[in-house]
Amino acid sequence: MLIRRLKNITHLLLALAANIYYGFPSRKVTVIGITGTDGKSTTVHLLYHILKESSRKVSMVSTIRANIGDSVIDTGLHTTTPNPFLIQKLLRKSADLGDEFFILEVTSHALDQNRIFGVRFAMGILTNVTPEHLDYHKDFDSYIKTKSLLLLRSRVSLINRDDSSTRKVLEILNKYKKPWYEYGAHKNGSLQRYIEKEIPLATGYNLYNYIVAYEVAVQLGVKSEDAKHALKTFQLPEGRLEVVFNKKFKVIVDFAHTPNAIHNVLEVIRSLHMRTGNRLIHVFGAAGLRDSQKRPLMGENSSTFSDGIILTEEDYRTEDPLEISAQIAKGIEKNGWVFVPPEKMTLGNGKKYYTVIIDRKKAIEKALSIAQSGDVIVITGKGHEQSLCRGKKEFPWSDRKTVQEIAVNT
């Protein structure tokens, strides 16, 4: 705990120095911060797209990349909210370009570690809060309080009225007399009906991302009809429900790496891409040196929607990937699934089977080899990311490229 506090103080001092060095750039641009357990990146990209389509000058920083003016900037491996100096540097460039808006994806770690100290937020958006990073925050209440820091540091906040964390968040905001608005699937019925009718991908959990992006854009001065039109032309960012192969069967890559995200993604895929009689094969793992409490629930949620599961590596770092898989498997077996060795992995026969293939490429190869016409393979956990962490080293990796390379040779 002492080391963590010292690190947070260091980040605070760095953030202060960065603000001074770059001349407090967030005072020159309207900054919108977006936090939450899931949906942050998609919401950032949605809002950015609406504002760009409405001819507003805007830049953004997300887990996937930074778009500053016409420049696309890589913010680093496994990075959501950059370090204080890079944040202020990007804000300075945005302000110098004459941007009106700057959209920043904000993590709970960045909030706790003071990486965004000095950023003046005009608006804070909370997508949802479900248990995550409890290895760091220790308990769910502490996690909610940390997420709420963005809202406390914003002039006004938007929160999801349909999320289970809302009551606790409102207690915090009201305690400090902070202004807030709420959004939800049923608050604006006509908007919900429009989105569900016109945008097939905006279903289930994604519906909330579309709704809040629309609501924020309108509050920022975009005409309602312009915002709706932009929603229709939006394409999900890479690694979000991304169909990377679609011939005999489909292969979909998604960044989902929390129990809630896995539940939501698989549920949506079953509704959008599956027909009666087709099977869903799920390939996934869990990151090492991260919240281990979520692993069984990830397995349980996967087994609820899948017809076959292949557990594999996902940035295991210095943990034993077999032990990570065993923890996930506890949740899978709660639903009556049976483990089989890779060579016996099959689908059907009245039972549901899972196997473990640590090598991610071989796991994907196995999934493609057992898929039949009309099946859907879903590969989660990496999404847009371009590396795999094994031990203390990063290795080049892309789920999309790997699938396409294997498919060419099969």
**pLDDT tens digit string along 122-149?**
999 999 999 887 778 789 999 999 999 9
For the entire predicted model, the pTM comes to: 0.93
| The last residue of a domain, from among 214, 233, 252 | 233
Q: Are residues 343 and 270 in the same domain?
A: yes
CB atoms within 10 A of CB 278: 17
Are the C-beta atoms of 239 and 255 separated by less than 8 Å?
A: yes
- Give me the residues of the chain with pLDDT under 70, please: 1, 79-80, 188, 410
Q: Are residues 254 and 399 in the same domain?
A: yes
> Which pLDDT score, from 0 to 100, does residue 203 have?
81
Q: Are residues 205 and 346 in the same domain?
A: no
Are the C-beta atoms of 99 and 406 separated by less than 8 Å?
A: no
> Which pLDDT score, from 0 to 100, does residue 79 have?
66
The owner of tokens 């998604």 is: 254
d(CA 371, CA 177): 55
User: Looking at residue 97, which CATH number applies to its domain?
Assistant: 3.40.1190.10
d(CA 385, CA 25): 29
Q: Are residues 172 and 37 in the same domain?
A: yes
Q: Are residues 228 and 253 in the same domain?
A: no
| The last residue of a domain, from among 233, 263, 284 | 233
Q: Are residues 223 and 285 in the same domain?
A: no
Q: Are residues 132 and 267 in the same domain?
A: no
User: Looking at residue 370, which CATH number applies to its domain?
Assistant: 3.90.190.20
Q: Are residues 84 and 160 in the same domain?
A: yes
The number of domains in the chain is 2
The greatest distance separating any two alpha carbons of the chain, rounded to the nearest whole angstrom, comes to 66
Q: Are residues 194 and 321 in the same domain?
A: no
Q: Are residues 274 and 135 in the same domain?
A: no
Its sign, for the CA torsion 108, 109, 114, 120, is: negative
Q: Are residues 224 and 283 in the same domain?
A: no
> Which pLDDT score, from 0 to 100, does residue 204 have?
82
| The last residue of a domain, from among 187, 210, 233 | 233
Q: Are residues 45 and 107 in the same domain?
A: yes
The length of the chain in residues reads 410
d(CA 264, CA 86): 33
- Residue range of the domain that includes 351: 242-408
Distances in whole angstroms, Cα of residue 237 to Cα of each of 49, 64, 240, 405: 11, 8, 6, 21
